[in-house]
Structure 1
Amino acid sequence: MSADSSSNSTCPANSMEGELPGGMEGRGTLKLVFTVVSALMVGLVMFSFGCSVEIRKLWSHLRRPWGIAVGLLCQFGLMPLTAYLLAIAFSLKPFQAVAVLIMGCCPGGTISNVLTFWVDGDMDLSVSMTTCSTVAALGMMPLCLYLYTRSWNLTQSLTIPYQSIGITLGSLVVPVAFGVYVNYRWPKQAKVILKVGAIVGGILLLVVAVTGVVLAQGWNTDVTLLIISFIFPLIGHAAGFLLALLAHQSWQRCRTISIETGAQNIQLCVAMLQLSFTAEYLVQLFNFALAYGLFQVLHGLLIVAAYQAYKRWQKSERRRQHPDCPEAGYENKPRETSAFLEEDDGAAVTLRPSGPEQQHRVAE
């Protein structure tokens, strides 16, 4: 395995799934427009999500990184293992198996931050996990690929896109850092920016999905790879949720880790495929990468829709059971948000008055 040092492997500052393959005839203009627009939108989305991050909670995650550790175990433990088992189960050819393994070894992508917001996940943990997994990918991607690819005799050497990983990391950290600063200095304005970014993120997901469908038309399709691209994200979501649940994480963190596990950085996968395979294999492998990106967007939108439907049902049940108190049942939400953080944070939640009786006791 080697590092890329050529300039043609440099990708834009865009960690959102959707980096388009080069060399496809008749799609150069679409590729350029999509790359520029998505890069700008991703920068805005990450800046806006940074406006939801509180320094105190972010520091709590970094000082007690139990949630981050569980997420990294899912990202570089469960996903590469799942990729290897899928390659064995479907009896893939060596170059196909390696492509699936590359996808499984990639860090989390920006799509996970967008989906986490829409399922009321822990944004501090989500941003921390995406950043840490991108940093860890510098060492974990070569290690995982070395361990799992020994089962096949490869005729080509795999090239790790370190330059693209660095650009992805910079495009993630810089906008988020600005967003955290804005939230610290101007919290009211940060809420408005967050709402705008959430809308832009939703639009970006739709753009990625539509673009993937357009680019996939007329391509040579391998049914086995399409089946794997469909089930792989689902396995990641389910395995991440179960592992987080076994690690006694809160429901909010379980949702976050589940989303982060199933959402891979397609850009890095495509960059590595370009650097490692010849043209005769690239069309089929690009098809797999785009299909994975498309399906993980569709799966994510279905998860968001299911969660929002459950949320509305839960709200209607609360109103039906407590018609005289519309806000009944919401006092537990801050407790979930602060679960597994500092003990002082939890104490602060329990001391918050939640009704007239408690306020009267505090006054006494």
Structure 2
Amino acid sequence: MTNLTSCNTTDPFNVTSTEDTSPLKVATTVAMTTCLIAIMLGVGACIQLKELWAHLRRPYGILIGAASQFIVLPLTAFGLGHALQLPPKQAIGMLIMSCCPGGSTSNMFTLWIDGDVPLSLSMTTVNTVLSTGFLPLNLLIYCRSWTDKKAVIPYVSLAQGIALMLIPAVVGIAVRHWKPKVAMYMIKIGSIAGALSVVVIITLTSLLYPYMYNSSWKIYFAVAILPLISFGLGYISAFIARLPHFKCRTIALETGIQNFPFCMTLLTLTFSKSEMGELSLYPLLFGVFIITESVLVTAVYKAGVIIYRRMSKPDGFTSVQQKDETC
């Protein structure tokens, strides 16, 4: 995240910086890093090497997800920015957010909706690597509508993000291979950490950046609608490619959920502190809304599973994921 923690009471966009070592800042960093490691250990514990290798050997789902992430989503954000006639800085914040790769959040929610966890982890890793090329390309194509400034890509943050995701995941995969019983406990701990991270992200982001709630209705509308559009486009793209439904759900989440701390780092490196207040409105609200909407999508899915089970005969019931795999 950035070092923006307070705002001028007369101008919500005139944001001043505070020390990176402030107690709340340190608490946020420690809490999120701890949750991330626990989540990725649990995600890795769900994965078998043969499943992971199958996706890398035949990367149809990965390619569809990458196309949705780096072609469809930025174009959608660009069109939405012009349709709503957002101020240039707010539109740039939305566009940069849409061009960022996914993170561990999509892996966590994929686990919760019975998606393809190996595919989710593969897509997150591959898309993060691909973003080193596609992110500056998309910004070059679309940002010229609002600014001539070239974005500074935080490659160090990208590398750190990959390491923080992959190292715990690899450990989890190894535990799944050698100690399957221990892996089951890791999955439960990862799920608990994921639930805690939902509360932590929303609470600490609201405390660190309260000025974001002073946004206009246009920003609120864009933040609310773009993730839903992204979920739909990702699902439809995978469905058209005739992938099973549990893989469609996975690609939908991977398309719609972006890494907003990475976006904030990019904005901090590219723009001045005086510009950051307005530029960061969309990414910050996105961090709150994407969690909230993903929780709602998960709740709807779980409710659907319960209804399906009650309507099905006990001897004829097949789990949703098993049914999808036979499609």
TM-score using structure 1 length: 0.82
2-structure distance, mates of 1:230, 1:75: 18
Alignment CA distance shift 1:146-1:181 (3 Å):
same
1-structure distance, mates of 2:5, 2:185: 41
CA drift of 1:186 comes to 1.0
User: Do the aligned residues in 1 keep the contact of 2:93 with 2:281 (CA within 8 Å)?
Assistant: no
User: Do the aligned residues in 2 keep the contact of 1:74 with 1:240 (CA within 8 Å)?
Assistant: yes
Find the counterpart in structure 1 of residue 137 from structure 2. 143
User: Do the aligned residues in 1 keep the contact of 2:5 with 2:209 (CA within 8 Å)?
Assistant: no
Encode CA deviations 1:87-134: one digit per residue, 9 max, x unaligned. Answer: 111222333222211111100121111111111111011111111111
Find the counterpart in structure 2 of residue 213 from structure 1. 206
2:324 is aligned, of 336, 347, 351, to 336
User: Do the aligned residues in 1 keep the contact of 2:31 with 2:200 (CA within 8 Å)?
Assistant: no
**How many positions carry a matched residue from both structures?**
314
Question: RCO (CA 8 Å, sep 6+): is it higher in 1 or 2?
Answer: 2
Find the counterpart in structure 2 of residue 197 from structure 1. 190
User: Do the aligned residues in 2 keep the contact of 1:118 with 1:304 (CA within 8 Å)?
Assistant: yes
Gaps of 5+ in 1: 1-18, 340-364
Aligned AA (1:254):
C
Find the counterpart in structure 1 of residue 91 from structure 2. 97
Q: After TM superposition, list the pairs within 5 Å mapping 1:202-281 onto structure 2.
A: 202-219=195-212, 220-281=214-275
| 3-state SS in 2 of match to 1:226 | helix
User: Do the aligned residues in 2 keep the contact of 1:48 with 1:190 (CA within 8 Å)?
Assistant: yes
Alignment CA distance shift 1:174-1:338 (3 Å):
farther
Aligned AA (1:196):
I
Identity of aligned residues (%): 33
Alignment CA distance shift 1:60-1:338 (3 Å):
farther
2-structure distance, mates of 1:262, 1:84: 15
| 3-state SS in 2 of match to 1:81 | helix
Alignment CA distance shift 1:223-1:64 (3 Å):
same
2-structure distance, mates of 1:116, 1:141: 24
Find the counterpart in structure 2 of residue 7 from structure 1. none
Gaps of 5+ in 2: 7-16
Find the counterpart in structure 1 of residue 59 from structure 2. 65
| 3-state SS in 1 of match to 2:86 | coil
Find the counterpart in structure 2 of residue 173 from structure 1. 166
Find the counterpart in structure 2 of residue 157 from structure 1. 150
Aligned AA (2:181):
K
Matched, 1:45 2:39: yes
- Aligned-residue CA RMSD (Å): 1.9
CA drift of 1:328 comes to 2.3
- Rg (Cα) greater in structure: 1
User: Do the aligned residues in 1 keep the contact of 2:39 with 2:194 (CA within 8 Å)?
Assistant: yes
1-structure distance, mates of 2:316, 2:281: 49
Aligned AA (1:271):
T
User: Do the aligned residues in 2 keep the contact of 1:270 with 1:289 (CA within 8 Å)?
Assistant: yes
1-structure distance, mates of 2:185, 2:316: 26
2-structure distance, mates of 1:226, 1:214: 18
| 3-state SS in 2 of match to 1:160 | coil
Alignment CA distance shift 1:172-1:136 (3 Å):
same
| 3-state SS in 2 of match to 1:243 | helix
CA drift of 1:56 comes to 0.6
Aligned AA (1:185):
W
2-structure distance, mates of 1:278, 1:230: 27
Q: After TM superposition, list the pairs within 5 Å mapping 1:353-364 onto structure 2.
A: none
1:182 is aligned, of 153, 156, 175, to 175
User: Do the aligned residues in 1 keep the contact of 2:89 with 2:278 (CA within 8 Å)?
Assistant: no
2-structure distance, mates of 1:284, 1:152: 14
2-structure distance, mates of 1:71, 1:150: 26
Find the counterpart in structure 1 of residue 4 from structure 2. 22
TM-score using structure 2 length: 0.90
Aligned AA (1:238):
G
CA drift of 1:338 comes to 7.0
2-structure distance, mates of 1:264, 1:75: 9
User: Do the aligned residues in 2 keep the contact of 1:46 with 1:172 (CA within 8 Å)?
Assistant: yes
2-structure distance, mates of 1:285, 1:257: 28
User: Do the aligned residues in 2 keep the contact of 1:20 with 1:31 (CA within 8 Å)?
Assistant: no
Encode CA deviations 1:45-103: one digit per residue, 9 max, x unaligned. Answer: 10111010111111000000001111111110111111111111122233322221111
Find the counterpart in structure 1 of residue 303 from structure 2. 309
